[in-house]
Structure 1
Amino acid sequence: MKATSNLLPYQERIMESLLNDPNLLFPLADKGLGPCAVSYDQYIEDCLIHLKNQECYSLISERDAKLAIDLLEDDIEKWLKKYKHQVDGMHAKYILKHMASVSTSPFGQFYVLYKIHKGMKNGRWPTRPVCSDVSSLTHGLGKWVNEMLTPVQKAQQSYFQDSFELKKMLDGLELPPNARLFTADATSMYTNIKTEPALAELSEYLREKSNEFSYPCEALIEALDLVFRNNYFKFGDLYCKQISPCRYPCGGRGGIWLLYEDPLVNDQRWNDFTLDMNGWNGLEWVCEKPTTTVNFMDLTIRIENGRLVTTIFEKAQNLYLYIPPHSSHPKGVLTGLIFGQVLRIRRLCSLSTDADEKISQFFERLQHRGHTTASLVPLFSRAEKNASRFINRSTEDIDRLKQKKWIDSRKQIYFHLQFHPENPSSRAIQEIWKKHVSHPPKETPLSQMKNLDNERVGFSKLVVAYSRPLNLQNRFSVRDIHGRGKEVSKYLA
């Protein structure tokens, strides 16, 4: 029996018309600002602006690309053999399994995000180049490198996990009257970090700190070299290699600083400071002038009466594409969205008046997406109570809850399936589980049964873990454009 569509007939016709238009592509905007619509020709030209930069990329033949991949596969296998006693067996198995899974097309995919928040420059929208390495040969090795480097990253003085941790750091500061704020953002960060200096600096640092962390030092340095020097990817029918700029396994961001101004020497000191920042291995930093209010990450931070006050920062171009009521999703998704957003706002806004305003705006945006006031009010009321309970908990209570959740998770079995509104409900699945598996009548409960080692199984709870079906972004946004229009190589003629 055919399932009922949650799209109206005219919506389906429009969607099919757009998807079948050979002259249109729908890339994403940078900073999560939603979808864009550009012509196929325009998108190719915008991507080639980056790929024609011979300091960053090299266009190579299909034959050379496949030969390089064969050599790279041999190098990774030699690395695994050389360090088989230092690389965990499960990690090695994952790296080999990933290489086998991408053997038919072991290249990353190049695409761009449109920086609509930056505005047009010289008649064009600026773009951010991205190379997705999920399908690349080195992806598995890169994940291992990332796991080894993550503890090192977290140990840096400049590291903080998220906006909540940043706010906690800022809340404790008392500032003198001459305090000012400024931000600095690296221009094209990843395409301006030179491979040789980066590897030299990282290798020296990793050897110096090897006793403080548990990573296998030489194995990690050699793996970094393999990942940094072997970024092969495709764009349409083009094969490319990234040259000098390197891709970092661990993410990075710009920075925020506090400055204590001295009016007599401020200009000279400021100029010296910005010159020093821009003197390191090719990175160019754009430093905003010191002020009392800055936007950083998802926060607006301002100085008031010797304290730092924060509120939520949202870009003017944000479309707020929250799920509409007719979307195919489990009922709990909307509840989770509202609970999470209300808690986020209450935690990140220093002043209750700012938080009230942001929550009111969030409510109105959900109404604009089609949700009714009657359906939203009870959820927002519960969300406010939940946020109040969370904020008033002590750090010890929060840690205990996290520990309890971790212990409980060890007793859970996950049933993964794609959500469909016409399938049996989660509650029905739970009842079947309880009746026939976990607590069958007149039989030993699953949690009390013993395995071959005479230990209790311990599993007592089933978690129905829904994955979502394809959404509009999945249908419209295309990273691999090969076969969508004129071959990319013909644009180079």
Structure 2
Amino acid sequence: MDHLLDGFIDGKHPNFSKLERQALKDLRENKSLTLKPTDKGGALVIMNQVDYVKEVNRQLNDTDTYSVSHVGEVIQLEKLIDTVISEALTQNIIDEDLYKYLKKEHAILPVFYVLPKIHKSLENPPGRPIVASTDSVLQPISVFLDRVLQPLVIKTQSFIWDSKNVLRRITELSFTGPIVLFTWDVTSLYTSIPNREGMTAIQDALLKHLFPEEHISFLMKLVEIVLHNNIFLFGDTVYKQCRGTTMGSNMAPAYANLYMDAFENQFIYPHQFFINFVHTWWRYIDDVFGIWTGTETDLTFLTQMNTVNAHIKFTMISNPLEINFLDLTLRVEGTHLVSDLFVKPTDRNSLLHYSSFHPESTLNSLPRSQFTRVIRNVSNPDIRDDRLQQMINKFSD
């Protein structure tokens, strides 16, 4: 059949040779191997299936986070959702359209998988846990909660949108005297948030923004449903997540952001070291960038923050000259910061080949977007020219 389709669609010819197509087919059919994209960097990892399953089981055997469940709990969950949203409809908290949206028909059971973090280890990469929640019974609720919570997230003190937001902000920064750049990373934030603490953070945020009491009650019931009923499948076994939220849940970023905002307000902002020495503190979900005006010795602040909550732990990198944050390298230049592209050593060239079967508009817009990114992210003209040439080389590969 393949040879009959060669060149049939829009006169396109496959950009795989017959030998390459056969190799790909063999890889797909080899049950002793697992193919997964990397967590970051655009690479494809070919793993022994035994090693992949071993890493999945290592995570799912954490009984503080996961427990074995059964399909019957999904049926109970559907009944619970119908009870809650029917009551909200009767009380005029939601309308008929929203009721129909939240009541998912013909839902599928989500599937658990992990993405290898080869930037952490090439030999035994830990996996980032993902629950593929598309078309699950919880997805409409999670999407709805995300739309409600995101406007609250952007009003939090440390919030940043993305690297473009960082670039805009560093143009407004200046400092005098010696400084230390630092980044903090929250270890496994999504699965580490205790449900009760997370729900308290959400409720406090809703109260702060003056949501009506009956709306808060309804929204908190939905949050509780999502957190307490994340049921999924791996292999032939059904599991339930007991703590935290999952990457793959639409509301997860907003939930994690509001939890971290509550953590910052309780423990970080009132701390004397923060008041005395933190010049800048920006956070993208679980990644923090900061400028420290004290000595590197004073950064024992991190050690103290790792003792205030049994579940939330940070790792830190600090440097007086430059630091990597998101997809940027930020460098000290006089009294200001300048920016450059940050590329992990494990990153691969994942740009679309021009012969790829994509719309022509997509293929033609890709160079513009990538060169624009280089020009935007690299502030030094000489370095920018080098990065542009490197990008040209990537397109030429």
TM-score normalised by length of structure 1: 0.68
* Cα pair distance change 1:68/1:152, threshold 3 Å: same
| Cα displacement string for residues 344-394 of structure 1 (whole angstroms, at most 9, x for unaligned residues) | 1111211122221111101001111xxxxxxxxxxxxxxxxxxxxxxxxxx
Give, in angstroms, the shift of residue 81 of structure 1: 1.3
1:34–1:319: 8 Å Cα contact kept in structure 2? yes
- The answer for the alignment partner of 1:109 in structure 2 is 111
- The answer for the alignment partner of 2:22 in structure 1 is 13
* Cα pair distance change 1:139/1:181, threshold 3 Å: same
* Counterpart AA for 2:394: R
Distance 1:126 1:346 in 2: 34
* Cα pair distance change 1:334/1:147, threshold 3 Å: same
Give, in angstroms, the shift of residue 3 of structure 1: 4.5
1:136–1:233: 8 Å Cα contact kept in structure 2? no
| Cα displacement string for residues 145-182 of structure 1 (whole angstroms, at most 9, x for unaligned residues) | 11100101111121122211111111111111222210
| Cα displacement string for residues 182-205 of structure 1 (whole angstroms, at most 9, x for unaligned residues) | 000011111211112211232233
* Counterpart AA for 1:112: V
- The answer for the alignment partner of 2:260 in structure 1 is none
* Counterpart AA for 2:98: H
- The answer for the alignment partner of 1:78 in structure 2 is 83
Distance 2:54 2:302 in 1: 38
* Counterpart AA for 1:223: L
The SS at the match of 2:371 is helix
Distance 1:274 1:16 in 2: 51
* 2:60 maps to 1:56: no
| Cα displacement string for residues 36-73 of structure 1 (whole angstroms, at most 9, x for unaligned residues) | 0012212111110100111111123xxxx222111111
| Cα displacement string for residues 419-454 of structure 1 (whole angstroms, at most 9, x for unaligned residues) | xxxxxxxxxxxxxxxxxxxxxxxxxxxxxxxxxxxx
* Cα pair distance change 1:352/1:101, threshold 3 Å: farther
Q: Deviating runs (4+, > 4 A) in structure 1?
A: none
The SS at the match of 1:86 is coil
Distance 1:329 1:348 in 2: 27
Distance 2:340 2:152 in 1: 30
1:29-428 superposed matches below 5 A: 29-60=38-69, 65-84=70-89, 85-96=92-103, 99-102=104-107, 106-120=108-122, 124-211=124-211, 216-247=215-246, 249-251=251-253, 252-261=285-294, 263=295, 267=297, 269-368=298-397
Distance 1:135 1:58 in 2: 22
Distance 1:215 1:273 in 2: 40
Distance 2:320 2:391 in 1: 29
| Cα displacement string for residues 296-338 of structure 1 (whole angstroms, at most 9, x for unaligned residues) | 0000001110101011111111111212232112222222111
* Counterpart AA for 1:114: P
Distance 1:214 1:29 in 2: 44
Distance 1:271 1:255 in 2: 16
* Cα pair distance change 1:196/1:358, threshold 3 Å: same
The SS at the match of 1:234 is strand
| Cα displacement string for residues 56-99 of structure 1 (whole angstroms, at most 9, x for unaligned residues) | 11123xxxx22211111111111111222223443322222xx2
* Equivalent residue pairs, number: 352
Distance 1:56 1:310 in 2: 39
1:433-448 superposed matches below 5 A: none
| Cα displacement string for residues 188-232 of structure 1 (whole angstroms, at most 9, x for unaligned residues) | 111211112211232233223225x99932221111111011100
Which one has the largest radius of gyration?
Answer: 1
Distance 1:30 1:361 in 2: 23
* Counterpart AA for 1:119: S
* Cα pair distance change 1:125/1:250, threshold 3 Å: closer
Distance 1:242 1:326 in 2: 43
Root-mean-square deviation (CA), in Å?
Answer: 2.1
* Cα pair distance change 1:209/1:157, threshold 3 Å: same
* Counterpart AA for 1:164: K
* Counterpart AA for 1:79: V
Contiguous gaps of at least 5 residues in structure 1: 369-493
Contiguous gaps of at least 5 residues in structure 2: 8-12, 254-284
| Cα displacement string for residues 394-413 of structure 1 (whole angstroms, at most 9, x for unaligned residues) | xxxxxxxxxxxxxxxxxxxx
Give, in angstroms, the shift of residue 288 of structure 1: 1.8
Distance 2:168 2:224 in 1: 37
* Counterpart AA for 2:236: D
The SS at the match of 1:366 is helix
| Cα displacement string for residues 239-276 of structure 1 (whole angstroms, at most 9, x for unaligned residues) | 10001223471422311011112x4xx62x42244312
Distance 1:129 1:207 in 2: 32
1:193–1:281: 8 Å Cα contact kept in structure 2? no
2:302–2:316: 8 Å Cα contact kept in structure 1? no
| Cα displacement string for residues 104-148 of structure 1 (whole angstroms, at most 9, x for unaligned residues) | xx321110111111125xx62222111121142111111111110
1:259–1:290: 8 Å Cα contact kept in structure 2? no
